[in-house]
Chain A
């Protein structure tokens, strides 16, 4: 294979990053995102990229993409018309939740939305006991009527979650079989999605799959048809855990595609962290509609095993009841509705507000001249001189300065009694403050001091706002990696193929049968190998990581410990028990060697390694990047061309560094330097205090 292509479908633009495996050369392309049919935007961005770099379909070895369809469907409550089937007497598990409220003292709080309303929660007579014994047999005779109700209600997907199905899935499977053969809609069984104890969390994860499954399936189908039409290879999807998976895997487990897009950016930033030797990074990714923040420590991003979708940006990692729990690993990040396309407005009390509404790609900011009439953050940056009519989108688009100015005047400046420039500056201050809050959530709120970190800024609008944010947080260094607009897409082609498998066993380590454990691992390895076969992953790049979740028998939460990769024998059992005691001591400060250790779940990660990727766009050896001068917030500053900046070139603010996809703003008091890999580093010249 020669080229790897990553496609990141953002709220505004669909970005493509290309890497030539042989030369390490990086390329980019972009097209407006087409929300009615994402495939269109993907195809036009791909066509543009292949055209620009003279790539034939046969030269593409890896095609991978990130999608926002799953998260958007949940956030906007626009998922499928889904039903859930529960054990009789337990219709309301999804609404009863864990019964704690997210905020102790909030008078006006709401319970999370009922994604599956009570009218579509059904019951079936059956019961499995704690030990897997059948207490009440499955009432086969009720199934026809159930099918009729589901049909009459025109449901688009069904989740089945019966009590103790993680111990004995017999009833779920029998019911699932009848439903699947009678109904032409996807059926998700909790014993397949998440065979783990705790009925609410298992049901919630399964319900999320049913809620978003049909949307994800039809989207991936359309996309695959289109890319296959171009003769491109099978398309991978970025998972919430930072690995990529096959489309068919995603349709079987849609919850894995939550936060797919933001995860890609964090993976790319982790690659950059290693390469730039900045192991502690705060990442700031600002596009057209949202801004995302995450934290990288010692070169690694953090994932959280208990994630709540739509739980709000300040969601703690501890389950707090604000959103919909899914029990799949998700990269830890915070997101706010603030992007270049965010619309600025004046509220009834005379306050300036930015977002959450966005002009998106269509119609886009007023200055794009495509019918937008509401002033956006991009319009304000244009008025202030942070952006220039000739530099926006590399000058490929006609920019209407006067229209932007008129819109700001009418909608903001006149109601507030300000000049157009002052109104634009106020909008930028407001949006910067809200993005700083997102950065604080992943740093300050987690007990990390941002001053110990370097800010990594990317996304089309990230580098434009980065220095101001750093200033607000007391940070003294910002790095702007190459190809900021398509930087997230780089993460897509730099991450391994990865799928996690789990089997719940519930056995005391001193009573466990090593052979049956070995058997379970072998089964999972066979599943993983089949997945890697389908992906065409060569044998020498395959890796299987065995681990298991264990706890003291009377505890409720497990710790994950590695399991030896050799055949699982009595020696291996002793080894994992010892590893568990040590891990418990290390994590919580004490252990209890007289207490039996219970093995709860066996886990297998099947990994197909993708060769490492360098994030590099080697700058010119020499050259003169100076393009001219213009007023920036009223002060004359330099305008530079990033493509012509040689390594080691220094410039002091005020200045802007322009490139095709993004503009770096260097404020007064900051200095910018180009390094040998194409990273622009910003440093604060005097450090306050």
Chain B
């Protein structure tokens, strides 16, 4: 038998085939799912795993799940050990068993070839609702028991037989069971496709050779990560940042109190240690993160900085050179039964951005200023008067992508641990009783700098006249603006208001549920990203072009860039355009 290294051509083909399988899972899910968050917005991750639960290939989905999905598969391996058979399907969502938060439901299916266990396919999909008191399951509660249905690793199919009782329990606990059944069906179809493809690879190359290649794919990424690390300067960086709050109004003046995250990054040779020592203890509301969630953000930030041109295949092998330490019972390494629903994306955004801040102290050419730093989740739920059916809408709105050492940030695009898509306005309005009245770029929201931060967006929803909803918001960076680096300004922080007909706009706090009356409007401005370098060093032609396109306004140019006569720069840009 050829070892992988002796046959680089076959290795290359098998490696690409494994990544292709993860990508094909994505296609099957998107094309068959029922809820807009899956079929249009792409809030899910696909992966191929070995028998131990290590991730061999991550699909081109969401970085957020990179670090935590292997834990979810390992939880199944631990719970069922050798009791895994062809035709079995496992399901679970428990953050205390390697899940991320309850709405993210993992469907895990073992792959076999002629009785030989090859590994697993796992599809983690965000369900728009998993029960709890609030439609969308994004309420500000103080125990995980309030966050919805908890599923420890359990067997949904046994040798091809559906466990109907389990399915009934699941569907009885979610708000839109028909839609959930369709989504679950697409998760089952996508994992089945992946297992079929793995079996076909085993048929072609042999089961033992395939699993040897799977191990080699991870070793390969490990070698590349270590080689890249060795080429970078050694050093130590420290960074601290505060979060807006946890959704519980328990501050001294009845406000939602901020709390701190602290991080030290030490890089020596071909390895790196990230230590959260000094971070605040876990909080009452759902901003607590399991360590695997905090680590996902760390991995995402480090991967981007260490391999900035993205040449190393993402899988579990990438993380062997990285060690993450965090005090037990802290907000980045919480203990049962702390609630977690917000932290899944908000804390991993935070740790990914903070890694950049810490690294900037010894490798400033490999980092970016802070991006939007939030998934900006807005859920709306109620009864659609057009059909009489219940609905739950879940959207994530994008802000700015951080400025880099050699170029501007990007306006309104997914950054850091997130890579979901927006829901097209036409799809949203077909599905839910709302109308979007604008969705556009918010000028001046990116931080000034030698390289400007990316601008955020503004979006307005109006409830239809005979529809009302229970809304919930989860949005960091309302009081803690996205930081700039190397002298760049921070981005503009987020704001959300709700305005009932005939009333004044009311500012919403960063997290929690609220009522939306018929005809009310919700206005959201997402955070811009931080700038990089001193604003006084920005090229004047670039400022002129920004003025011409309205990405910045003359008054902001005067106050942030110290330019007395913006009109002159604008006129030069206009002439250039002719």
Contacts and interface: CB of A to CB of B under 8 A. Distances in A.
Interface residues of A, number: 58
Given A119-B577, A130-B426, A101 B413 contact: yes
A589 B192 contact: yes
A105 interface: yes
B51 interface: no
Contact of A104 (B33, B185, B314): B314
A119 B570 CA distance: 12
A90 B457 CA distance: 11
Contact of B36 (A440, A556, A590): A556
Given A99-B414, A106-B304, A556-B40, 20 more contacts: A89-B437, A89-B440, A92-B441, A99-B413, A101-B419, A105-B303, A105-B307, A107-B305, A109-B410, A119-B550, A129-B429, A166-B426, A320-B60, A447-B21, A552-B34, A554-B34, A555-B31, A556-B427, A589-B189, A590-B188
Contacts of A473: 9
Contacts of B308: 106-108
A100 B421 contact: yes
B336 interface: no
Interface string B365-379: 011100000000000
18 contacts: A89-B438, A90-B439, A97-B413, A106-B310, A107-B308, A108-B308, A109-B310, A118-B550, A129-B435, A199-B425, A445-B16, A449-B13, A473-B9, A552-B182, A556-B31, A588-B189, A590-B185, A592-B182
B427 A197 contact: yes
B171 to A, nearest CB: 14
B245 interface: no
B435 A135 contact: yes
Interface in A532-570: 552, 554-557
A444 interface: yes
Nearest to B367: A107
Interface in A84-143: 88-93, 95-101, 103-111, 117-119, 129-130, 135
Most buried by B among A97, A99, A111, A555: A99
A198 B307 contact: no
A90 B430 contact: no
Nearest to B460: A89
Interface in B286-315: 300, 303-305, 307-310, 314
A316 B182 contact: no
Contacts of A97: 413
B548 interface: yes
A95 B34 contact: no
A580 to B, nearest CB: 13
B105 to A, nearest CB: 18
A96 B439 contact: yes
Contacts of A444: 12-13, 16
B414 A101 contact: yes
Contact of A110 (B309, B398, B407, B460): B407
A164 interface: yes
A625 interface: no
Interface string A567-603: 0000000000000000010001110100100000000
Contacts of B367: 107
Interface in B390-446: 398, 401, 404, 406-407, 410-415, 419-422, 424-427, 429-430, 435-441
Nearest to A165: B426
A197 B426 contact: yes
A197 B310 CA distance: 33
Given A100-B419, A588-B28, A316 B23 contact: yes
Given A100-B42, A107-B366, A118-B549, A198 B424 contact: yes
B304 A447 contact: no
A649 interface: no
B70 interface: no
B179 interface: yes
Contacts of A590: 32, 185, 188-189
Given A96-B441, A99-B422, A101-B414, A108 B427 contact: no
Interface string A386-428: 0000000000000000000000000000000000000000000
Contacts of A274: none
A557 B39 contact: yes
Given A129-B435, A198-B424, A119 B549 contact: yes
A199 B314 contact: no
B209 interface: no
Interface in A157-171: 163-164, 166
The 9 closest A-B pairs by CB, nearest first: A89-B438, A107-B308, A556-B39, A554-B34, A118-B549, A106-B310, A557-B31, A130-B429, A98-B421
Contacts of B20: 445-447
A54 interface: no
B5 interface: no
Nearest to A446: B20
Nearest to B30: A557
Nearest to A81: B577
B551 interface: yes
Interface in B328-371: 366-368
Contacts of A95: 411-412, 441
A474 interface: yes
Nearest to B408: A110
B450 to A, nearest CB: 16
A595 B182 contact: yes
Interface string A441-457: 00011110100000000
Contacts of A447: 16-17, 20-21, 197
B554 to A, nearest CB: 15
B457 A588 contact: no
Contacts of B189: 588-590
B321 interface: no
A447 B48 CA distance: 15
B31 A318 contact: no
B398 A99 contact: yes
Contacts of A117: 549
Most buried by A among B12, B304, B305, B578: B304
Contacts of A592: 182, 185
B26 interface: yes
A108 B404 CA distance: 7
Nearest to B10: A449
Contacts of B178: 554
Most buried by B among A101, A107, A449: A107
A119 B404 CA distance: 25
A616 B185 CA distance: 51
A101 B401 contact: yes
A318 B26 contact: yes
Contacts of A440: 12
A38 interface: no
A163 B440 contact: no
A16 B305 CA distance: 51
Contact of B551 (A118, A163, A446): A118
B33 A555 contact: yes
B398 to A, nearest CB: 4
Contacts of A103: 310
B139 interface: no
A199 B23 contact: no
B63 interface: yes
Contacts of A154: 578
A90 B440 contact: yes
A118 B368 CA distance: 25
B193 A589 contact: yes
Contacts of A556: 30-31, 33, 36, 39-40, 427
